[in-house]
Structure 1
């Protein structure tokens, strides 16, 4: 599959360096890890890891970054898009 789109993400420089070092140690690149994340998200039709409110697991560590307003705005967005898609097809 050709790589023909570019994704730019702003993040803390220290975080970027640590992530790049981690993925080098794992034998891949940060960019490849992002591609894997995107591919797995599409395959699973969601986040490719379990999300919960327990602060001892992945979601708990990520929850402090959640934008509650955006989550409310996006609630049901997939379902709404599917309804619109199939209503237009009729």
Structure 2
């Protein structure tokens, strides 16, 4: 069996609840949808859908949905997680 890893994502609670409800109605879970998204991203070597016709403006267009407070909290989180992971194994 392949190694498993945990992904933690901060998001608006209302958005999470709506996504969970949506995927439950589709007969799956939000967690499974994230796994599907990740696999399809790898398969496509990029986003598994066309985000915009003008790729140069993609971030600007999507940034209105971002939560700047959560983005700031997440800054450097990958590096911190890797340091913590390796400190535990030492």
Same fold per TM (> 0.5)? yes
Normalising by the smaller structure, the TM-score range is: 0.5 to 0.7
Residue segments in structure 2 that go unaligned for 5+ positions in a row: 67-90
TM (norm. structure 1) is 0.58
Summarize the Cα distance change of 1:33–1:3 in structure 2 as closer, same or farther, 3 Å threshold: farther
Measured on the aligned residues, the alpha-carbon RMSD in Å equals 2.6
Structure 1, unaligned runs of 5 or more:
67-90
Residue 9 of structure 2 aligns to a residue whose secondary structure is coil
Q: Does 1:9 align with 2:22?
A: no
Higher relative contact order (CA 8 A, sep 6+): 2
Which residue in 2 is equivalent to 1:24?
24
* TM-score, structure 2 as length reference: 0.58
